[in-house]
Amino acid sequence: MEFSQVVANSHSVRDFTDQPVSREDLVDVVRTAQQAPSWVNSQPWRVYAATGRTLEEIKKRHAADVAAGRKGGSDLPVKPRTEWSPTTQENMAALGEQIGAQLGEGVQEFQASQGRLFNAQAVLYVTIPVESTPWSFHDLGAFSSMLVLAAADKGLGAINAYALVMYPDEVREAMGIGADEIVAVGIALGHPADSVLAVFAPDRVDVDQILTIPTVPTVKN
């Protein structure tokens, strides 16, 4: 698939079929993502792939926690939207409007999908060392994006979501992740379902709103 097509087709998929994701595809996705750049080639990331019975147990415990009203406590801090910048608050508000307009009564299903972890057939948990510098978080973002694009190139859907890492203690226990690692990112993978949730893709702001190219005044001799 052409790179431009992969990027254009990529969006957060919130509903997957029961079709498994093969071990071969998981290995290929991670291998491809390893081409992501990092500070002095530090490659601070580690990937833990949950599938099969391990993932089913994670889903079961997550659903029970959500049903019981257990508050999330991700390794990376979360702050209220009101503390974000005005521009990002506007973008998040626009997402809420699009969800309501496009999904209608399906809004409740949108929220419920998080409780079942989108019926993901594989989840990639990406960690970095607890002593990581801010530049390692930059590298983490690059690597995570590469994982999503590599999955899309194979026809797989993906979503990077807070719900996947909101109970890091359970992820650590299930995946054997040590206390010296930050459970930073969770990426759900699978084959997209034939549903509104699976195809929903919010708009992006116009490029002119984020790109600045200063004009250089003409100097007359």
Asked whether residue 73 is assigned to any structural domain, the reply reads yes
Q: Please name the residue that has the structure tokens 């490029």.
A: 207
| pLDDT at residue 188, rounded to an integer | 98
Asked whether residue 114 is assigned to any structural domain, the reply reads yes
| pLDDT at residue 9, rounded to an integer | 85
Asked whether residue 221 is assigned to any structural domain, the reply reads no
Asked whether residue 9 is assigned to any structural domain, the reply reads yes
Residues with Cβ within 8 Å of 115's Cβ and at least 6 positions away in sequence, in order, are 62, 63, 66, 67, 163
Q: Are strands 122-129 and 181-190 parallel, antiparallel or unpaired?
A: antiparallel
Query: Using alpha carbons only, what angle is made at residue 198 by residues 194 and 199, rounded to the nearest 5 degrees?
Result: 95
Asked whether residue 215 is assigned to any structural domain, the reply reads no
CA within 13 Å, CB half, 196: 13
| pLDDT at residue 8, rounded to an integer | 85
Q: Are 84 and 147 in contact (CB under 8 A)?
A: no
Report the domain count for the chain: 1
| pLDDT at residue 109, rounded to an integer | 87
- DSSP class of residue 145 equals H
Angle between helices 52-67 and 168-175 (to 10 degrees): 160
| pLDDT at residue 217, rounded to an integer | 77
Q: How far apart are CA 193 and CA 17, in angstroms?
A: 5
| pLDDT at residue 103, rounded to an integer | 84
Q: Please name the residue that has the structure tokens 């797989």.
A: 156
- Tell me which residue range forms the domain holding 15: 3-209
User: The domain that contains 94 carries what CATH number?
Assistant: 3.40.109.10
| pLDDT at residue 5, rounded to an integer | 87
Asked whether residue 16 is assigned to any structural domain, the reply reads yes
Average pLDDT, consecutive stretches of 10 residues, N- to C-terminus, the chain (221 residues): 87 96 98 97 98 98 96 95 95 92 83 94 98 97 97 96 97 98 98 94 94 84 66
Asked whether residue 220 is assigned to any structural domain, the reply reads no
Asked whether residue 216 is assigned to any structural domain, the reply reads no
- The b/e string for 106-132 (b: 16+ C-beta within 10 A; e otherwise) is beeebeebbeebbbbbbbbbbbbeeeb
